[in-house]
């Protein structure tokens, strides 16, 4: 093999559990392995990234990755790590989500007809014609309820940790996932299933089924669930998930997420979410430790992941936009921003609306800032900050409390960017 896949995961901190013999199998021959993704949305988010990177490293090591879209299981919902039942999706939505996810996976994996080219499968394709009676007779009889109840994912739902119990539909999830492994083992010679550590129970149910149904060799491997150093949930922000699709999370916001992770998290994440080799990463961490205030590790992490998920152009645009918000950018740089990028950069910043008609005639700044918008609590405070050189409009110092604000000051014909002090931004939108 090109490289030891397990060792690669080990030094990157991406290995939680594996069945005995897994590493030996992977060193012995090119092996087909799969990882499941439930298509509950038409975009992946960064919570999926660790699993995707496992598939990527697998392919880089000369093995064949299969990404399984859980069209059937997505209609049911996985109880693992959850305390409530999920919404069930219809087939049309699932197919749309599948196509979108495949496009995103194409940024990480090489799909095609080659020996170790990636493949995308959907478990709905082999489950849709399977009758309940046949499944109960052929698969259900092989696994005892006692065995299923012993799994952590199920126990938690029965032990009062959840506000509601668990439906029979969800209870069957591990059997269905187990059967996926049986199917891929039989039809694709798939010998390894990978997933997050919360999937261990479901994966080992699959290996048990393969054994009982007379299948070939089968192994299991999981990665840790990624958390933040402070114990908070990785990938969740105040505004929700960080998505890979730009229509949900702009490349600028995506870049900012990685740029703003803590030092401890950056040291872990650069191993997990990039393909940089060990010596490069060790050198980056050493450089960072010498001058943590430079945030060189975060900058490189943000670059690598943004380029991989989006593009080099998106990364460069995000850096330029960041300089406008946090650097010493000029009025000229600000005026060059497209409306889309302007709104991305200043997403979440307090917005005030004024009439375009008012700007035609020109508005006295104290009226605009203290009455029409409430950017300042009073005209006195507005005057004080303006005359003290602490107020800017569109990245230019504004020092004359008598100078009217006019439509000529509008960026993209719509916006005025106000800045109090160094960090307090406000947008005035003319409508």
- Which is the catalytic residue, given 188, 211, 236, 379? 236
Q: Beta 32-37 vs 351-354: how paired, if at all? A: unpaired
pLDDT in tens, 320-337: 888 887 766 778 888 888
What sign does the CA torsion over 160, 161, 167, 173 have? Answer: negative
Average pLDDT of the chain to the nearest whole number: 89
State which H helix or E strand residue 74 sits in: none
Say yes or no to pLDDT of 47 above 80: yes
pLDDT at site 25: 96
Is the pLDDT confidence value at 77 over 70? no
What does DSSP assign to residue 397?
E
Annotation marks residue 82 as catalytic: yes
**230 catalytic residue (yes or no):** no
CB 209, CB 179: distance < 8 Å: yes
User: Mean per-residue pLDDT for 177-194?
Assistant: 96
Annotation marks residue 204 as catalytic: no
Please tell me what DSSP assigns to residue 405: B
198 is catalytic: yes
Angle at 310 (CA atoms; ends 307, 315), nearest 5 degrees: 50
Instruction: Tell me if residue 233 is catalytic.
Output: yes
With bands split at pLDDT 50, 70 and 90, how would you rate the model's confidence at 357? confident
Identify the active-site residue in 16, 25, 86, 330: 86
> What's the pLDDT score for residue 144?
86
pLDDT-based confidence at 83, cuts 50/70/90? very low
pLDDT value of residue 85: 46
Cα-atom radius of gyration of the chain, to the nearest Å?
Answer: 27
Domains of the chain: 5-223 (3.40.50.620), 236-327 (1.10.240.10), 351-430 (3.10.290.10)
Q: Do residues 105 and 120 touch, judged by C-beta distance below 8 A?
A: yes
On the question of pLDDT at 46 being above 80, the answer is: yes
pTM above 0.85, yes or no: no
Reported as a pLDDT band with limits 50, 70 and 90, residue 380 is: very high
Q: Exactly one of 17, 25, 45, 188 is catalytic; name it.
A: 45
What percent of the chain is predicted at pLDDT more than 90? 59
pLDDT computed for residue 236 by the predictor: 67
Q: Please give the Cα distance from 87 to 29 (Å, whole number).
A: 41
Span 359-386, mean pLDDT? 91
Residue of 40, 93, 104, 406 with catalytic role? 40
Q: Which of 74-88, 97-111, 302-316 has the lowest mean pLDDT?
A: 74-88
Cα–Cα distance measured from residue 371 to residue 41, given in angstroms and rounded to the nearest whole number: 44
Q: What is the pLDDT of residue 78?
A: 53
The residue annotated as part of the active site, out of 38, 180, 198, 314, is 198
Q: Between residues 271 and 73, which one has the greater pLDDT?
A: 271
Q: Which of 17-31, 156-170, 236-250 has the lowest mean pLDDT?
A: 156-170
Kindly name the residue from 48, 268, 300, 383 that is annotated as catalytic. 48
Among residues 237, 280, 387, 399, the one annotated as catalytic is 237
Sheet of strand 415-420, all strands in order from the earlier edge strand to the far edge: 351-354, 424-430, 415-420, 391-393, 396-397
Active site residue 237: yes
Active site residue 293: no
Q: Is 48 considered catalytic here?
A: yes
d(CA 152, CA 196): 14
Confidence of residue 84 (pLDDT cuts 50, 70, 90): very low
DSSP one-letter code for 370: I
Closest among 392, 402, 405 to 363, alpha carbons compared: 405
Backbone dihedral angles phi then psi of residue 424, each to the nearest 5 degrees: -95, 110
Pair of tokens at residue 226: 């990624």
Residues in the chain: 431
User: Which of these is catalytic: 17, 25, 82, 104?
Assistant: 82
Q: Which one from 28, 137, 155, 233 is the annotated catalytic residue? A: 233
Give the pLDDT band of residue 6 (cuts 50, 70, 90).
very high
Q: pLDDT category, 150, cuts 50, 70, 90?
A: confident
Annotated catalytic residue, options 32, 59, 172, 177:
177
Q: Specify the pLDDT at position 156.
A: 73
């Amino acid at each position: 093999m090109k490289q030891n896949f397990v060792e690669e995961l080990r030094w990157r901190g991406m290995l939680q559990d594996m069945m005995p013999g897994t590493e030996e199998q992977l060193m012995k021959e090119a092996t087909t392995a799969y990882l499941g993704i439930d298509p509950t949305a038409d975009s992946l988010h960064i919570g999926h990234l660790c699993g995707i990177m496992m598939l990527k490293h697998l392919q880089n090591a000369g093995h064949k990755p299969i990404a399984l879209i859980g069209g059937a299981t997505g209609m049911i919902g996985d109880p693992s790590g959850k305390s409530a039942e999920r919404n069930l999706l219809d087939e049309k939505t699932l197919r749309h989500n599948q196509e979108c996810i495949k496009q995103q996976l194409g940024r990480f994996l090489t799909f095609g007809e080659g020996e170790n080219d990636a493949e995308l499968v959907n478990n709905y394709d082999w489950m849709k014609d399977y009758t309940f009676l046949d499944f109960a007779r052929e698969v259900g009889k092989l696994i005892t309820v006692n065995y299923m109840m012993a799994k952590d994912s199920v126990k938690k739902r029965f032990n009062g940790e959840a506000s509601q119990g668990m439906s029979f539909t969800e209870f069957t999830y591990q059997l269905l996932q187990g059967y996926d492994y049986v199917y891929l083992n039989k039809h694709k010679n798939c010998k390894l299933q990978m997933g997050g550590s919360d999937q261990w129970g479901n994966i080992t149910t699959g290996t048990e089924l393969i054994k009982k149904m007379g299948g070939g060799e089968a192994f299991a491997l999981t990665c840790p669930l990624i958390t933040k150093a402070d114990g908070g949930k990785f990938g969740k922000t105040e505004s929700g998930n960080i998505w890979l699709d730009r229509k949900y999370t702009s490349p600028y916001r995506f870049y900012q997420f990685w740029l703003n992770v803590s030092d401890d998290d950056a040291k872990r994440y650069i191993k997990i979410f990039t393909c940089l080799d060990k010596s490069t990463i060790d050198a980056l961490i050493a450089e960072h430790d010498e001058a943590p205030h430079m945030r060189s590790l975060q900058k490189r992490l943000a670059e690598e992941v943004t380029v991989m998920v989006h593009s080099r152009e998106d990364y460069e645009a995000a850096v330029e936009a960041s300089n406008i918000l946090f650097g010493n950018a000029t009025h000229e740089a600000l005026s060059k921003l497209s409306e889309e990028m302007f709104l991305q950069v200043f997403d979440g910043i307090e917005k005030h609306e004024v009439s375009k008609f008012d700007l035609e005639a020109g508005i006295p700044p104290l009226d605009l800032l203290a009455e029409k918008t409430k950017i300042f609590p009073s005209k006195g405070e507005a005057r004080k900050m303006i005359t003290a050189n602490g107020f800017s409009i569109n990245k230019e110092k504004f020092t004359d409390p008598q100078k009217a604000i006019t439509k000529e000051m509008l960026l993209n014909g719509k916006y005025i960017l106000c800045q109090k002090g160094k960090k307090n931004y406000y947008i005035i939108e003319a409508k």
